[in-house]
Amino acid sequence: MTVPKNENGKTLYIATILFIVLIAVGWKLVTVTGLASRVQGHLLSAYISFALLVIPIWFFGFGIADRVRAILSSPFVRVSAAALFAVPYAVFALPAQEFRWKIQVGFLLICVAGAALLEWARRQYGTTRGGWQDFIVLAALGLSVDLRVFESAWPYPGISGMSKLVLVDLALYGYLVIRQLEGIGYDLRPRLGDLGVALREFLFLVPIAIVLGLSLHFLHWHGRMPPPWVPAGAWAFTFLFIAIPEELFFRGLVQNLLERSWGTRASLVITSILFGLSHFNKRLGTGVTGFNWRYVLLATIAGVFYGRAWLAKRRIMASAITHTSVDVTWGIWLR
Protein backbone atom coordinates (compact mmCIF):
# COMPACT_ATOMS: atom_id res chain seq x y z
CA MET A 1 0.00 0.00 0.00
CA THR A 2 1.36 3.41 -0.98
CA VAL A 3 1.69 5.92 1.85
CA PRO A 4 0.16 9.34 1.02
CA LYS A 5 2.81 12.00 0.38
CA ASN A 6 1.59 14.31 3.16
CA GLU A 7 1.56 11.45 5.68
CA ASN A 8 5.03 10.32 4.59
CA GLY A 9 6.28 13.90 4.87
CA LYS A 10 4.93 14.15 8.41
CA THR A 11 6.60 10.85 9.31
CA LEU A 12 9.95 12.04 7.97
CA TYR A 13 9.59 15.34 9.84
CA ILE A 14 9.03 13.48 13.12
CA ALA A 15 11.89 11.10 12.28
CA THR A 16 14.21 14.06 11.73
CA ILE A 17 13.32 15.61 15.09
CA LEU A 18 13.82 12.28 16.84
CA PHE A 19 17.14 11.74 15.10
CA ILE A 20 18.47 15.13 16.19
CA VAL A 21 17.36 14.49 19.77
CA LEU A 22 18.91 11.01 19.84
CA ILE A 23 22.20 12.23 18.39
CA ALA A 24 22.33 15.04 20.96
CA VAL A 25 21.54 12.68 23.84
CA GLY A 26 24.05 10.17 22.49
CA TRP A 27 26.76 12.82 22.41
CA LYS A 28 26.01 13.75 26.01
CA LEU A 29 26.25 10.10 27.06
CA VAL A 30 29.53 9.35 25.30
CA THR A 31 31.18 12.47 26.71
CA VAL A 32 30.53 11.32 30.29
CA THR A 33 31.75 7.76 29.69
CA GLY A 34 35.27 6.46 29.24
CA LEU A 35 34.95 6.33 25.45
CA ALA A 36 36.95 9.54 24.93
CA SER A 37 40.07 8.01 26.45
CA ARG A 38 39.67 4.83 24.41
CA VAL A 39 39.59 6.76 21.12
CA GLN A 40 42.71 8.68 22.13
CA GLY A 41 41.14 12.13 22.03
CA HIS A 42 39.42 11.71 18.66
CA LEU A 43 35.90 11.53 20.07
CA LEU A 44 34.43 14.32 17.92
CA SER A 45 35.51 12.89 14.56
CA ALA A 46 34.50 9.39 15.70
CA TYR A 47 31.04 10.60 16.72
CA ILE A 48 30.50 12.64 13.56
CA SER A 49 31.38 9.60 11.44
CA PHE A 50 29.00 7.52 13.57
CA ALA A 51 26.18 10.03 13.04
CA LEU A 52 26.79 10.00 9.27
CA LEU A 53 26.66 6.19 9.24
CA VAL A 54 23.40 6.10 11.18
CA ILE A 55 21.59 8.57 8.89
CA PRO A 56 20.75 5.94 6.19
CA ILE A 57 19.93 3.28 8.80
CA TRP A 58 17.52 5.64 10.53
CA PHE A 59 15.80 7.34 7.60
CA PHE A 60 15.43 4.27 5.37
CA GLY A 61 13.50 2.86 8.33
CA PHE A 62 11.01 5.71 7.98
CA GLY A 63 10.26 5.28 4.29
CA ILE A 64 12.65 7.67 2.57
CA ALA A 65 13.73 5.19 -0.13
CA ASP A 66 11.07 6.32 -2.63
CA ARG A 67 12.15 9.95 -2.30
CA VAL A 68 15.81 9.09 -2.74
CA ARG A 69 14.98 7.02 -5.83
CA ALA A 70 13.00 9.89 -7.34
CA ILE A 71 15.91 12.28 -6.84
CA LEU A 72 18.51 9.84 -8.17
CA SER A 73 16.64 9.05 -11.38
CA SER A 74 19.71 8.22 -13.49
CA PRO A 75 21.31 4.76 -13.13
CA PHE A 76 24.77 6.33 -13.33
CA VAL A 77 23.94 8.76 -10.53
CA ARG A 78 22.43 5.99 -8.39
CA VAL A 79 25.55 3.86 -8.70
CA SER A 80 27.93 6.78 -8.20
CA ALA A 81 26.05 7.97 -5.11
CA ALA A 82 26.97 4.73 -3.35
CA ALA A 83 30.51 6.10 -3.01
CA LEU A 84 29.16 8.47 -0.35
CA PHE A 85 28.97 5.58 2.10
CA ALA A 86 32.78 5.51 2.17
CA VAL A 87 32.95 9.15 3.31
CA PRO A 88 32.43 8.56 7.07
CA TYR A 89 35.67 6.59 7.20
CA ALA A 90 37.63 9.59 5.89
CA VAL A 91 35.75 11.91 8.26
CA PHE A 92 37.07 9.86 11.17
CA ALA A 93 40.45 8.70 9.89
CA LEU A 94 41.89 11.95 8.53
CA PRO A 95 41.63 14.02 11.76
CA ALA A 96 42.68 10.97 13.79
CA GLN A 97 45.72 10.43 11.52
CA GLU A 98 44.58 6.84 10.98
CA PHE A 99 43.80 7.20 7.28
CA ARG A 100 44.86 4.30 5.06
CA TRP A 101 44.30 4.35 1.32
CA LYS A 102 43.86 0.58 1.22
CA ILE A 103 40.80 0.76 3.46
CA GLN A 104 39.37 3.83 1.71
CA VAL A 105 39.71 2.23 -1.72
CA GLY A 106 38.25 -1.01 -0.35
CA PHE A 107 35.15 0.80 0.89
CA LEU A 108 34.79 2.65 -2.42
CA LEU A 109 35.13 -0.55 -4.45
CA ILE A 110 32.62 -2.60 -2.49
CA CYS A 111 30.11 0.28 -2.44
CA VAL A 112 30.27 1.25 -6.11
CA ALA A 113 30.72 -2.28 -7.48
CA GLY A 114 27.91 -3.57 -5.27
CA ALA A 115 25.60 -0.79 -6.43
CA ALA A 116 26.46 -1.46 -10.08
CA LEU A 117 25.72 -5.18 -9.72
CA LEU A 118 22.37 -4.48 -8.06
CA GLU A 119 21.42 -2.02 -10.81
CA TRP A 120 22.24 -4.75 -13.32
CA ALA A 121 20.24 -7.33 -11.35
CA ARG A 122 17.13 -5.12 -11.23
CA ARG A 123 17.25 -4.60 -15.00
CA GLN A 124 17.76 -8.30 -15.69
CA TYR A 125 15.48 -9.93 -13.09
CA GLY A 126 13.10 -7.20 -11.92
CA THR A 127 12.21 -6.66 -8.26
CA THR A 128 10.78 -10.09 -7.42
CA ARG A 129 13.48 -12.55 -8.55
CA GLY A 130 17.01 -13.08 -7.34
CA GLY A 131 19.99 -13.31 -9.67
CA TRP A 132 23.66 -14.19 -9.66
CA GLN A 133 24.49 -10.54 -8.99
CA ASP A 134 22.67 -10.81 -5.65
CA PHE A 135 24.79 -13.83 -4.75
CA ILE A 136 28.01 -11.92 -5.42
CA VAL A 137 26.90 -8.83 -3.49
CA LEU A 138 25.64 -10.79 -0.48
CA ALA A 139 28.73 -13.00 -0.44
CA ALA A 140 30.97 -9.92 -0.51
CA LEU A 141 29.03 -8.27 2.32
CA GLY A 142 28.88 -11.41 4.45
CA LEU A 143 32.52 -12.38 4.02
CA SER A 144 33.67 -8.82 4.67
CA VAL A 145 32.01 -9.00 8.08
CA ASP A 146 32.89 -12.60 8.95
CA LEU A 147 36.54 -12.22 7.95
CA ARG A 148 36.72 -8.76 9.56
CA VAL A 149 38.12 -7.21 6.41
CA PHE A 150 37.35 -3.63 7.47
CA GLU A 151 37.44 -4.02 11.25
CA SER A 152 40.65 -1.99 11.56
CA ALA A 153 39.06 1.05 9.87
CA TRP A 154 37.98 2.39 13.26
CA PRO A 155 40.88 0.84 15.22
CA TYR A 156 39.93 1.76 18.78
CA PRO A 157 38.17 -0.40 21.40
CA GLY A 158 34.43 0.16 21.44
CA ILE A 159 34.09 1.56 17.90
CA SER A 160 35.61 -1.13 15.66
CA GLY A 161 32.09 -2.31 14.82
CA MET A 162 31.40 0.92 12.96
CA SER A 163 32.88 -0.54 9.78
CA LYS A 164 29.90 -2.90 9.72
CA LEU A 165 27.56 0.10 9.49
CA VAL A 166 29.13 1.10 6.16
CA LEU A 167 28.02 -2.26 4.77
CA VAL A 168 24.57 -1.92 6.34
CA ASP A 169 24.18 1.47 4.64
CA LEU A 170 25.20 -0.08 1.33
CA ALA A 171 22.78 -3.00 1.74
CA LEU A 172 19.87 -0.70 2.59
CA TYR A 173 20.58 1.71 -0.24
CA GLY A 174 21.36 -1.06 -2.71
CA TYR A 175 18.26 -3.13 -2.04
CA LEU A 176 15.70 -0.44 -1.19
CA VAL A 177 16.69 2.27 -3.69
CA ILE A 178 18.51 0.48 -6.53
CA ARG A 179 17.40 -3.16 -6.48
CA GLN A 180 13.91 -2.34 -5.10
CA LEU A 181 13.60 -5.87 -3.76
CA GLU A 182 10.13 -6.57 -2.46
CA GLY A 183 9.33 -7.95 0.99
CA ILE A 184 12.47 -6.95 2.92
CA GLY A 185 10.40 -5.56 5.78
CA TYR A 186 12.83 -2.88 6.90
CA ASP A 187 10.70 -0.44 8.89
CA LEU A 188 11.69 1.20 12.18
CA ARG A 189 8.20 2.50 12.86
CA PRO A 190 7.18 0.32 15.83
CA ARG A 191 4.05 -1.79 15.87
CA LEU A 192 2.58 -3.61 18.83
CA GLY A 193 2.46 -6.77 16.74
CA ASP A 194 6.25 -6.73 16.40
CA LEU A 195 6.63 -6.90 20.17
CA GLY A 196 4.12 -9.73 20.47
CA VAL A 197 5.81 -11.85 17.80
CA ALA A 198 9.27 -11.09 19.18
CA LEU A 199 8.27 -12.06 22.73
CA ARG A 200 6.65 -15.28 21.53
CA GLU A 201 9.74 -16.44 19.64
CA PHE A 202 11.98 -15.35 22.52
CA LEU A 203 9.99 -17.48 24.97
CA PHE A 204 10.06 -20.45 22.58
CA LEU A 205 13.82 -20.20 22.07
CA VAL A 206 15.13 -19.42 25.56
CA PRO A 207 14.36 -22.79 27.27
CA ILE A 208 15.92 -24.72 24.37
CA ALA A 209 19.00 -22.50 24.25
CA ILE A 210 19.55 -22.53 28.02
CA VAL A 211 19.23 -26.30 28.42
CA LEU A 212 21.44 -27.06 25.42
CA GLY A 213 23.91 -24.26 26.13
CA LEU A 214 24.44 -25.27 29.76
CA SER A 215 24.79 -28.95 28.87
CA LEU A 216 27.45 -28.07 26.27
CA HIS A 217 29.23 -25.80 28.78
CA PHE A 218 28.82 -22.91 26.35
CA LEU A 219 26.57 -20.97 28.71
CA HIS A 220 27.42 -20.22 32.33
CA TRP A 221 24.88 -18.77 34.75
CA HIS A 222 25.72 -15.46 36.46
CA GLY A 223 23.05 -14.61 39.01
CA ARG A 224 23.74 -10.90 39.26
CA MET A 225 21.39 -7.96 38.92
CA PRO A 226 23.12 -5.08 37.12
CA PRO A 227 22.00 -1.44 37.37
CA PRO A 228 19.08 -0.74 34.99
CA TRP A 229 21.19 1.36 32.62
CA VAL A 230 23.43 -1.64 31.88
CA PRO A 231 20.79 -3.79 30.12
CA ALA A 232 19.29 -0.64 28.55
CA GLY A 233 22.65 0.37 27.09
CA ALA A 234 23.42 -3.19 26.05
CA TRP A 235 20.03 -3.44 24.34
CA ALA A 236 20.54 -0.24 22.33
CA PHE A 237 24.10 -1.21 21.32
CA THR A 238 23.11 -4.76 20.35
CA PHE A 239 20.07 -3.62 18.40
CA LEU A 240 22.09 -1.20 16.25
CA PHE A 241 25.41 -2.99 15.82
CA ILE A 242 24.34 -6.65 15.82
CA ALA A 243 20.62 -7.30 15.42
CA ILE A 244 19.74 -4.81 12.68
CA PRO A 245 22.76 -5.69 10.46
CA GLU A 246 22.33 -9.45 10.87
CA GLU A 247 18.54 -9.49 10.54
CA LEU A 248 18.65 -7.26 7.48
CA PHE A 249 21.23 -9.52 5.87
CA PHE A 250 19.99 -12.98 6.84
CA ARG A 251 16.24 -12.51 7.02
CA GLY A 252 15.41 -9.46 4.89
CA LEU A 253 17.80 -10.36 2.08
CA VAL A 254 19.08 -13.97 2.14
CA GLN A 255 15.93 -15.71 3.41
CA ASN A 256 13.76 -13.40 1.35
CA LEU A 257 15.60 -14.24 -1.87
CA LEU A 258 15.91 -17.97 -1.15
CA GLU A 259 12.21 -18.25 -0.41
CA ARG A 260 11.38 -17.23 -3.97
CA SER A 261 13.17 -20.30 -5.35
CA TRP A 262 13.15 -22.83 -2.50
CA GLY A 263 9.96 -22.14 -0.59
CA THR A 264 9.35 -20.98 2.97
CA ARG A 265 10.54 -24.01 4.97
CA ALA A 266 13.66 -24.73 2.95
CA SER A 267 14.69 -21.07 2.94
CA LEU A 268 14.21 -20.89 6.71
CA VAL A 269 16.41 -23.95 7.27
CA ILE A 270 19.12 -22.91 4.80
CA THR A 271 19.28 -19.36 6.14
CA SER A 272 19.45 -20.61 9.73
CA ILE A 273 22.37 -22.88 8.85
CA LEU A 274 24.16 -20.03 7.09
CA PHE A 275 23.49 -17.81 10.10
CA GLY A 276 24.96 -20.46 12.40
CA LEU A 277 28.03 -20.93 10.22
CA SER A 278 28.67 -17.18 10.25
CA HIS A 279 29.55 -17.59 13.95
CA PHE A 280 32.24 -20.21 13.37
CA ASN A 281 35.10 -17.92 14.43
CA LYS A 282 33.33 -16.05 17.24
CA ARG A 283 34.00 -16.33 20.99
CA LEU A 284 37.25 -18.27 20.62
CA GLY A 285 39.39 -15.87 22.61
CA THR A 286 41.96 -13.31 21.54
CA GLY A 287 44.38 -14.67 18.96
CA VAL A 288 42.69 -18.09 18.91
CA THR A 289 41.63 -19.60 15.58
CA GLY A 290 39.34 -22.56 15.09
CA PHE A 291 35.76 -23.67 14.52
CA ASN A 292 33.42 -22.94 17.43
CA TRP A 293 30.90 -25.70 16.75
CA ARG A 294 28.95 -25.03 19.96
CA TYR A 295 28.32 -21.46 18.92
CA VAL A 296 27.44 -22.56 15.38
CA LEU A 297 24.89 -25.07 16.71
CA LEU A 298 23.21 -22.64 19.09
CA ALA A 299 23.22 -19.83 16.53
CA THR A 300 21.64 -22.14 13.95
CA ILE A 301 18.82 -22.99 16.36
CA ALA A 302 18.40 -19.32 17.24
CA GLY A 303 18.29 -18.49 13.54
CA VAL A 304 15.20 -20.67 13.13
CA PHE A 305 13.31 -18.58 15.69
CA TYR A 306 14.60 -15.28 14.30
CA GLY A 307 13.47 -16.43 10.87
CA ARG A 308 10.05 -17.37 12.25
CA ALA A 309 9.74 -13.91 13.80
CA TRP A 310 10.50 -12.28 10.45
CA LEU A 311 8.10 -14.56 8.59
CA ALA A 312 5.21 -13.82 10.96
CA LYS A 313 4.86 -10.19 9.87
CA ARG A 314 7.55 -9.93 7.18
CA ARG A 315 9.15 -7.26 9.36
CA ILE A 316 12.79 -7.04 10.41
CA MET A 317 11.78 -5.15 13.55
CA ALA A 318 10.18 -8.30 15.00
CA SER A 319 13.19 -10.55 14.42
CA ALA A 320 15.60 -7.80 15.53
CA ILE A 321 13.79 -7.45 18.88
CA THR A 322 13.98 -11.21 19.44
CA HIS A 323 17.64 -11.27 18.41
CA THR A 324 18.55 -8.33 20.65
CA SER A 325 16.71 -9.74 23.65
CA VAL A 326 18.46 -13.10 23.31
CA ASP A 327 21.91 -11.54 22.98
CA VAL A 328 21.42 -9.18 25.93
CA THR A 329 20.10 -11.98 28.14
CA TRP A 330 23.09 -14.11 27.20
CA GLY A 331 25.60 -11.31 27.62
CA ILE A 332 24.45 -10.28 31.10
CA TRP A 333 23.36 -13.51 32.77
CA LEU A 334 24.63 -16.49 30.77
CA ARG A 335 28.01 -15.71 29.22
**pLDDT in the model for residue 88:** 98
Q: Give the model confidence (pLDDT) of 81-108 as tens digits.
A: 999 999 999 999 999 999 999 999 999 9
**pLDDT in the model for residue 3:** 53
Burial of 104 (0-12, 13-18, 19+ CB in 10 A): middle
Q: Give the model confidence (pLDDT) of 268-310 as tens digits.
A: 999 999 999 999 988 766 566 789 999 999 999 999 999 999 9
Spell out a b/e string for 278-305, using b for 16 or more CB atoms within 10 Å of the CB, else e: bbebeeeeeeeeeebebbbbbbbbbbbb
Q: Give the model confidence (pLDDT) of 238-256 as tens digits.
A: 999 999 999 999 999 999 9
Q: Taking the model in full, what pTM does it have?
A: 0.94
* Average of per-residue pLDDT values in the chain: 94
**pLDDT in the model for residue 1:** 44
Question: Which residues of the chain carry a pLDDT beneath 70?
Answer: 1-7, 284-288
**pLDDT in the model for residue 214:** 96
**pLDDT in the model for residue 94:** 97
Write a three-state SS string for the chain.
CCCCHHHHHHHHHHHHHHHHHHHHHHHHHHHCCCHHHHCCCCHHHHHHHHHHHHHHHHHHCCCCHHHHHHHCCCHHHHHHHHHHHHHHHHHHHHHHCCCCHHHHHHHHHHHHHHHHHHHHHHHHHCCCCCCHHHHHHHHHHHHHHHCCCCHHHCCCCCCCCHHHHHHHHHHHHHHHHHCCCCCCCCCCCCCHHHHHHHHHHHHHHHHHHHHHHHHCCCCCCCCCCCCCHHHHHHHHHHHHHHHHHHHHHHHHHHHHHHHHHHCHHHHHHHHHHHHHHCCCCCCCCCCCCCCCHHHHHHHHHHHHHHHHHHHHHCCHHHHHHHHHHHHHHHHHHHC
Q: How far is CA 289 from CA 143, 161, 252, 280, 285, in A?
A: 16, 20, 30, 10, 8
**pLDDT in the model for residue 158:** 82
**pLDDT in the model for residue 41:** 84
Q: Of 123, 112, 98, 118, give the one whose Cα is nearest residue 46.
A: 98
